[in-house]
Structure 1
Amino acid sequence: MEKTIQTRSAADARVRSIVACALLAALACAATMVIHVPSPTGGYMNLGDAAVLLGAFLLGPWYGAVAGGVGSAMADALSGYPVYVPATLIIKAVMAIAAGLVYRALREKSGGTLIAALIGEIPMVVGYWLFDALLLGSFTGSAAGIPSNLVQAGFGVAVSVFLTAALRRSGYVRGKFANL
């Protein structure tokens, strides 16, 4: 009987994690698509990074990577940027893994969330620079997208750090998200 209860409890926790992952993927997709500011380089700036970072902080690096990668890639597919789907899937997943691992190590330290968010944005800026270089055939030409990616990163960092601080104040949310 006790083993059945433990097995059910573990299964319930896994189902909750999968559902939370799906919800944060939807949030990443929506945050990317709703606030959609075209950039001069042909892409667009959005607040999807805030959702990717928040997913890494709430779910941890691995579920956060799935949520951020899948949600952001869905946004590219639905927004008419299919060439970016595979790159976005990988870039946002790596972003969430980096942020989630650093957050796990530093979450109790002053400024730990900010440091984790800043480190998490590095793969985004570098990843899109490299992918654009592949598309354009020029590292110099693709560097034109770096400023808009830095602005997007800044918004993502600010919003995710603010939301994480607000959510950490809630005992209910902390009870549901052990990583927070």
Structure 2
Amino acid sequence: MEKTAEQETAKTFQRTRMVVMAAAFAALACVATMVVKVPSPTGGYMNLGDTVVLLGGYLLGPAWGALAGSIGPALADVLLGSPIYAPATLVIKAGMAALAAACHQAFGKGRGPLGLAACGIMGELPMVVGYWLYDALLLGSAAGAAAGIPSNLVQAAFGIAASTLLAAALGRSAYVRREFPRL
């Protein structure tokens, strides 16, 4: 009976730890999205949020990474005065983090920076395509919405590069390897 109580306590501790980590990554993603904003020609902006979304996916895994990676940037949309993008951001960033994390778990783990970068590319695809489709819905024109693709590609490239470098550096830490075995 005692072992069952210990197992329950460990399970509760792990779940609480993941909730706290997801909340921390959501807050980081919100701040990273809001702090550095480079205006794009289409009226949107490029930001550092993708770096945190991808990194959160790698460290927390697909489910918790998707939760953290979607809430933070969607909250940033609301706080920055673009609430019309919040629903799309919730779906797009969740897909982005989940896909990058699943790719990393299946193919990228142990493959170093090139594996991380390849998984980052897979994760950024839903961002570029998703915002293009959402903008097409808002504008009523797929061709007109295509004007935002280049700035989304620049943001994706930066997010991939920065998250790859950060994950590779963090992966060298014994503490990170112990606490975040997904990396």
* TM-score range relative to shorter protein: over 0.9
**Could you report, residue by residue, the CA deviation over 1:3-49 in whole angstroms, capped at 9, with x for unpaired residues?**
11111001100100110000000000000000111111100000100
**Could you report, residue by residue, the CA deviation over 1:117-172 in whole angstroms, capped at 9, with x for unpaired residues?**
01100000000000000000000000000000000001100100000001000011
Compute the TM-score of the two structures, normalised by the length of structure 2: 0.97
Q: What is the RMSD computed on CA atoms of the aligned residues?
A: 0.7
* Counterpart Cα distance in 2 of 1:61 and 1:7: 23
* Counterpart Cα distance in 2 of 1:60 and 1:131: 26
Runs of 4+ in 1 over 3 A off after TM superposition: none
Q: Which amino acid aligns with 2:137?
A: L
Please show how residues 137-152 of structure 1 align to structure 2 within 5 Å. 137-152=140-155
**Could you report, residue by residue, the CA deviation over 1:73-107 in whole angstroms, capped at 9, with x for unpaired residues?**
00100011000000000000000111011000121
Compute the TM-score of the two structures, normalised by the length of structure 1: 0.98
The alignment partner of 2:181 has SS state of coil
Identify unmatched segments of 5+ residues in structure 2: none
Q: Tell me the residue number matched to 1:127.
A: 130
The alignment partner of 1:80 has SS state of coil
User: Size of the alignment, in residue pairs?
Assistant: 180
* Counterpart Cα distance in 2 of 1:60 and 1:3: 26
Shift of 1:176: 1.3
* Counterpart Cα distance in 2 of 1:18 and 1:72: 17
Q: Which amino acid aligns with 2:66?
A: A
Shift of 1:109: 2.2
Q: Tell me the residue number matched to 2:55.
A: 54
Shift of 1:178: 1.9
* Counterpart Cα distance in 2 of 1:173 and 1:22: 18
**Could you report, residue by residue, the CA deviation over 1:42-68 in whole angstroms, capped at 9, with x for unpaired residues?**
000001000000000000011000000
The match for 2:164 among 158, 161, 164 is 161
Q: Tell me the residue number matched to 2:110.
A: 108
